[in-house]
Amino acid sequence: MMLNRNYIFFAVLAFIILMMLAAIPLGGAKLPESLVCVAAIGAAGWLARRLFIEGKMLFARIASLENDHRKYVEKTSQSVKDAKDLKLQLQILKRQKRNTEAIIYSISDAVIVTDASDKLVMANEPAGNLLGFKVEQSVLKPIDGLIQNEELINLIKTSRGSKVRHVRHELQFNTGEDQLTYDGIISSIYDDDGQVCGTVSVLHNITREKEISQMKNDFVSHVSHELKTPLASITAYSEMLVDGEANDEKTRREFYSVIQNQAQRLNRLIEDILNISRIESGLIKVNKEAVSTALIIRDAVQMIKSYAAEKNIEVEDRTSVVFDQVNADKDMISQVVINLLSNAVKYTPENGKITVNSEVDESKCVVRVAVTDTGVGIPPEELPNVFEKFYRVKANTKFAKGTGLGLNLVKQIVENIHGGQVFVTSEVGKGSCFSLELPLLTEEKTVAR
């Protein structure tokens, strides 16, 4: 604050006037010097007093301004610091957002995030592929126009409206020819006030799990049924023997024969189940060596001829004598050929014919074996399933009994253990042709061994 200029001006003016009066003669005489001194001292004292007061006020004002300036500087520094903190928090939030988006986009499950108005906030690529929309072009659009599955839309809206934290439901989606099953979990998002501000939906594909579960149930059901039939026969005939119902040797032999046959059937079933289980788990012992498929076929045909003769079925071996060696487990490949020949005899009527062919395809480096019969044939719609566990062609169950494991075992041995392939062609009423391919043992492989 500046000194009051009026006070200083009048004080100086009074001092000058007094000095002038002292110098000007008044009636021929000057003012006494003492009076002038008193007046000067009085003016100087008054001026000093005013300067002291004004100076004190000035210093107080300066101190106040300095204090205000310090507060301003501190406030400005705090504002700068707050601005830096806000900037840092914003950067952290942006980084967290990017990390969250990266996590959501990398999840293989379908993820959908909606706001309080049921508009799409975020979704990953699997969600777009499943629900049929483009993620980049669908942000902030109502889900009613994006998602075709009404059940999912209702679940999202119900979850948001009911304020339930988690809703779990199984959903079905039709994608072309396939029907997919998803495990859907819809979770509500809450803000700081505890109000629902959106939802997160995660859809996990459980189609394969459902199929495996159904296969397990079918497996247990089939095994129980297949075990029950021979056990029931063994139990019944054993009880009749114990009760003395077989009075003569001929009847007893018949009972013994039934019990023996059923026990063998039971043993074959258990062996097939164990073999398939060992192959699938990789625990089966495999002894591969260089073997000739022609020799394996010759032995298998000789073994099956007596069984075919009971139905007057001709079995013809058309294998050619060429270099047809494969690196294989001889016992397993023998079992494959015997299974195919046995099935051919089962489903071929009396006086029919079975032909076994073997040829080498050097262009593909494979040995091809085919078993053709003149049997009842297989309907076209059932051909894709004949190699499945416990699968039996419904139209042919009356012709022969079986477990439905033989062809699955053939497939497991050829494809999983020996790296080959199995095929089937058939025509109802004319017969079937089951064939397999095995990698040919070339000269280079023989030398390497």
Question: DSSP readout, 223-268?
Answer: HHHHHHHHHHHHHHHHHHHHTT---SHHHHHHHHHHHHHHHHHHHH
Q: Distance between alpha carbon 410 and the CA centroid of its chain, in Å?
A: 32
Domain closes at, from 183, 205, 227: 205
- CA 95 to CA 110: how far, in whole Å? 23
Is the Cα dihedral 190, 191, 194, 195 positive or negative? negative
Do 86 and 117 fall within a single domain?
Answer: no
Do 101 and 196 fall within a single domain?
Answer: no
Read off the pTM.
0.52
DSSP structural state of residue 104: H
Specify the number of domains making up the chain.
4
Domain closes at, from 154, 181, 205: 205
Predicted pLDDT of residue 189: 85
CB contact at 8 A, 199 and 114 = yes
CB contact at 8 A, 319 and 365 = no
Predicted pLDDT of residue 28: 46
Predicted pLDDT of residue 19: 57
Do 299 and 435 fall within a single domain?
Answer: yes
Q: In terms of C-beta density within 10 A (0-12 exposed, 13-18 middle, 19 or more buried), how is residue 176 classed?
A: exposed
Do 419 and 346 fall within a single domain?
Answer: yes
In the chain, the amino acid numbered 230 is: P
Q: What string of pLDDT tens digits covers the 449 residues of the chain? A: 444 555 555 555 555 555 555 555 544 444 455 555 555 556 556 555 666 676 667 777 777 877 877 777 777 777 777 777 778 888 887 777 677 667 777 788 888 989 888 899 888 888 888 888 888 888 889 988 888 888 998 888 888 887 777 888 899 988 777 789 999 999 888 888 888 888 889 999 998 888 878 877 777 777 777 778 788 888 988 988 888 887 888 888 888 988 988 888 788 788 878 887 888 777 788 889 999 998 999 999 988 888 888 899 999 998 876 667 899 999 899 989 999 998 899 899 999 999 999 988 888 899 999 999 999 999 998 888 888 887 778 777 767 766 778 888 899 999 999 999 999 999 998 999 999 999 988 754 544 44
Strands 353-361 and 314-317: parallel
Question: CA-based angle 131:135:136, to the nearest 5?
Answer: 160
Do 176 and 314 fall within a single domain?
Answer: no
Do 395 and 438 fall within a single domain?
Answer: yes
CB contact at 8 A, 358 and 320 = yes
The CATH number of whichever domain residue 417 belongs to comes to 3.30.565.10
Do 298 and 406 fall within a single domain?
Answer: yes
Do 298 and 437 fall within a single domain?
Answer: yes
- CA 325 to CA 444: how far, in whole Å? 13
Predicted pLDDT of residue 174: 84
Domain closes at, from 106, 122, 152: 106
Q: Which domain holds residue 151?
A: 107-205
**CA-wise closest residue to 179 among 143, 130, 235, 144:** 130
Do 292 and 438 fall within a single domain?
Answer: yes
Do 226 and 316 fall within a single domain?
Answer: no
Do 180 and 91 fall within a single domain?
Answer: no
**CA-wise closest residue to 378 among 334, 413, 424:** 424
CB contact at 8 A, 111 and 127 = yes
Predicted pLDDT of residue 26: 45
Do 438 and 314 fall within a single domain?
Answer: yes
Q: What is the four-CA torsion angle of 18, 22, 23, 28, rounded to 10 degrees? A: 140
